[in-house]
Amino acid sequence: MNVNMFQADDNILHAEKGEWAVEPRPVEELPLPTDFFWGTATAAYQIEGGALQDGKGKSIWDSFSHLQPSRTNGENADVACDHYNHMVEDLDLMASYDVDVYRFSIAWSRIIPLGGHDDPINEKGIEFYDRLIDGLLARNVDPIVTLYHWDLPQELYNRYKAFLNTDKFKADFLRFAKLCFSRFGDRVKKWVTFNEPYIISVFGHHSGVLAPGHSAATGHDTQTEPWRVGHTIILSHAAVVDSYVREFQPSQKGVMSIVLNGHFYEPWDQESEKHKDAAQRRLEFYIGWFGDPIFLGQNYPTQMRAQLGSRLPQFTTQEMALLQKTASFNSFYGMNHYSTKFARALSDPPAEDDCTGNVEELATNNEGKFLGPVSGMLWLRVTPDGFRKLMNWVWNRYHLPIIIAENGCPCPGESQFTVDQAVNDTFRIRYFGLYLDAISRAIYEDGIKIQGYCAWSLMDNFEWSAGYGPRYGITHVNYETLVRTPKLSAFYLKHSLKARRGGNT
């Protein structure tokens, strides 16, 4: 089968009126290494359903999605894709796509319903993930397991405000992690501690658009909370890595890291040093915030400390020693990336609770040109060149092999499509093709080590505060009947990855 049969018409990227700062290029189906792996990614809360089934406890997202007035488009994930009860069907679906890996998360409150280090374990929750992992391996799919993808047990916020109490959170997270290692580590060889700590810190504890919904409007201290949360995540990550390396890795032979998300930022004015500096500063506030302590064993970026001052917590001597010790134990850089933005330096002093580095993010530059065509989300534009630049930025700063842990997009208008229209997802095919080409260029032209790629997402699902509107899946889900229907993009990825790695299509 020729992968060209899946190619979208070039005109699909020119449906939006406007001029591009970088003209979209054609997909070239550039080669990838023979050992490059690919797969799909999901998160427990977004697909599992079974909100209180078989002893599962309540998470902060169970609470947040039931607030009145609604903060999640009037929808919740009590059922979602009902993966909890359709797991075998979904395993077979992945097998039909010839994926090499499946990145999923474990719902903390499904295996420790109350979350704490002295709280009871739910064996039915353990059994579910046992069956999932065994089912993957039986189909020659390797699991990549994320310990925390945003769905903290609600009881930990009730008891001590969770991330805002570093010592107590670290102890509870360490117990949860060690339980997962002891029960699943004989079969799981790639672990992720936290997914997107920036989002947890800023979107959950500054803007409040995600659970637990902390913001100035809800009476919280947005000047300090995001940085306290980030500090807790960094130290909890280091504690878990240290424990894994000492207690489990010698026998289990697995590897571990964290997944950081981030846009790439282009200067709003390419000729201005001020805006060039703003683009670099935005990357440091977004990625360097976590990457420098975790991967380099260093303190927070200098520009962050200069602007934030006492708002940014200090590491103790003992904490810095732990970070320096565990920095070398992170075996890969997990990258979630979707798009690129322009960064414009603001002329006024930063707001008291600014968390951007006093930088405005824009879709157009000083000439009014767009970075690329818009997808089904206004913030997500097709910008493969920015993706390549971000891989270079990360590689040059941290010198770690990269795993693309999430990448994808919804098609324009897809939320209103019929099933027949949705499965013919040519815009998404084009996006995947261009971003895979960017990975090829990064590997062969820039010398970056990139190990694999996980498409977001295996199936349409509950997209957090946007509810069931955006559809990122390579599989269409009817949320009433729960029928799964593969989209053309699933078969494009299957055949494109085989061809790019030297196989026959």
Burial tier of 2 (Cβ tally within 10 Å: 0-12, 13-18, 19+): exposed
What distance in Å separates the CA atoms of residue 111 and residue 366, rounded to the nearest whole number? 51
CA distance readout (Å), 185 to 115, 250, 257: 20, 11, 15
Active site residue 367: no
Closest to 269 (Cα-Cα) out of 258, 277, 281: 277
Please provide the DSSP assignment of 99-110 as one string: -SEEEEE--HHH
Closest to 387 (Cα-Cα) out of 8, 25, 4: 25
What distance in Å separates the CA atoms of residue 22 and residue 195, rounded to the nearest whole number? 31
Closest to 113 (Cα-Cα) out of 163, 62, 187: 62
Strand order through the sheet with 340-345: 264-267, 340-345, 359-362
Q: Give the active site residue among 29, 48, 155, 196.
A: 196
Q: Give the active site residue among 284, 406, 414, 463.
A: 406
Give the H or E element holding residue 403.
strand 402-406
Closest to 496 (Cα-Cα) out of 449, 442, 437, 441: 437
Amino acid code (one letter) for 179: L
- Which token pair is 434? 């261009």
CA distance readout (Å), 267 to 121, 137, 276, 279: 50, 45, 5, 5
- The C-alpha R_g of the chain, in whole angstroms, comes to 22
What distance in Å separates the CA atoms of residue 428 and residue 440, rounded to the nearest whole number? 18
Residue 206 CB partners (closer than 8 Å, separation 6+): 214, 215, 222, 225, 226, 353, 355
Dmax (CA) of the chain: 60
What distance in Å separates the CA atoms of residue 14 and residue 430, rounded to the nearest whole number? 12
Whether 282 contacts 343, CB under 8 Å = yes
Closest to 88 (Cα-Cα) out of 76, 96, 100, 80: 96
What distance in Å separates the CA atoms of residue 213 and residue 236, rounded to the nearest whole number? 22
- The strand pair at 255-261 and 359-362 is best described as unpaired
DSSP 3-state of 483: coil
Residue 245 CB partners (closer than 8 Å, separation 6+): 256, 326, 329
Give the H or E element holding residue 135.
helix 123-138
Active site residue 406: yes
Active site residues: 196, 406
